[in-house]
Structure 1
């Protein structure tokens, strides 16, 4: 008699566990799609970061050239070639 009670409790526990796991397993494909979208966004952001760094370097180069040009213009105005 005790054996049947133990078996019943074990089976009931497995059924409850199965019912608890079912919604989680049902959400796995949706979670997978969300992860994929996030990875694609991360890759796009990394590409944008590289482009932004390149643009920043170019801007610094242009600023240096502008500074040199301003210095040359000042020297020309002062009469020193």
Structure 2
């Protein structure tokens, strides 16, 4: 008799566990799609970050060139009487 009670409680526990897990398992494909979208966005952001770093380096080069050009203009103006 006690064996049947233990078996009944175990089966009932498995049933409750199955009912609790079912909604989560039903959302797995949706969660997988969301993870995929986030990974694609992360890749796009990494590419954008690389472009921004390249642009920043280029702007530093241009600023340096502008500074040298300003120095040359100042030197030319100073050389003129």
Q: Distance in 2 between matches of 1:48 and 1:79?
A: 46
* Aligned-residue RMSD, C-alpha: 0.9
Which contiguous aligned blocks of 4+ residues in structure 1 show a shift greater than 2 angstroms? none
Query: Does 1:66 find its partner at 2:50?
Result: no
Q: Distance in 2 between matches of 1:7 and 1:15?
A: 12
Q: Which has the higher contact order (CA 8 A, sep 6+)?
A: 1
Aligned length: 80
Partner of 1:14: 14
SS in 2 for 1:78: helix
| Structure 2: runs of 5+ lacking an equivalent | none
| Structure 1: runs of 5+ lacking an equivalent | none
**TM-score, normalised to structure 2's length?**
0.95
**TM-score, normalised to structure 1's length?**
0.95
Q: Distance in 2 between matches of 1:79 and 1:6?
A: 104
SS in 1 for 2:27: helix
